[in-house]
Amino acid sequence: MTEELIKELIDGNKKYISNMKNEIVKYVSVQKPQIAILTCSDSRVIPEFIFNKSIGELFVVRVAGNVALGETVIKSLEYAVNHLKVKILIILGHTCCGAIKAAEESEKSCCGEILGEIQKSFSNGENHSLCNLSRQLKMLPKRSELINKKMKEGKVKLIGAIYNMESGKVEFL
């Protein structure tokens, strides 16, 4: 079973190389994405597909529940803002999010860091995808002095958006 899966990946990678040859070569030594996206790890939320973008165009950080939490996530986003100098930073939430569902269902006492973070947003309304997104938009500049500074200087704009799983449509806040 696992061998079949790996073979699928190898075959897929061959197709990728033959389809993307020129682009791969073009970006060998440089990347200049203008957009960074923090989104969920959900296999159905694929920023490059959703926005019809390709290699080198999006700097993407994915974590369950698209939480702007923890050094790994924050430092990755800071890299995009400070070194790559992305112009916009999008936090992309989505409907039917498993992490949000898990946070709704679990007891506070047995929650990990991510679910606890998501739960903190629930008191702000009924639409929990939106509540979580709003919280992450608020918390990111609080958790990153650098991003906060760059936002104030007008170097980067922080934007929230929700991907609708049913229609494929993204609504920008």
Q: Which residues here bind Zn ion, judged by CB under 5 A? A: 40, 42, 97, 99
Least distance to Zn ion from the beta carbon of 45, Å? 6
Least distance to Zn ion from the beta carbon of 39, Å? 8
Backbone φ/ψ region at 21: left (φ over 0), alpha (ψ -120 to 50), beta: alpha
How many other C-beta atoms are found inside a 10 Å radius of the C-beta of residue 164? 13
Rank residues 33 and 93 by Cβ distance to Zn ion and give the closer one. 93
C-alpha closest to that of 139 among 164, 163, 114: 114
Least distance to Zn ion from the beta carbon of 25, Å? 34
Rank residues 39 and 150 by Cβ distance to Zn ion and give the closer one. 39
155 vs 139: CA distance, rounded Å: 18
85 vs 52: CA distance, rounded Å: 21
Least distance to Zn ion from the beta carbon of 59, Å? 19
Parallel/antiparallel/unpaired status of strands 157-163 and 88-94? parallel
Structure token digits, residue 125: 């309304």
Rank residues 42 and 57 by Cβ distance to Zn ion and give the closer one. 42
Rank residues 129 and 144 by Cβ distance to Zn ion and give the closer one. 129
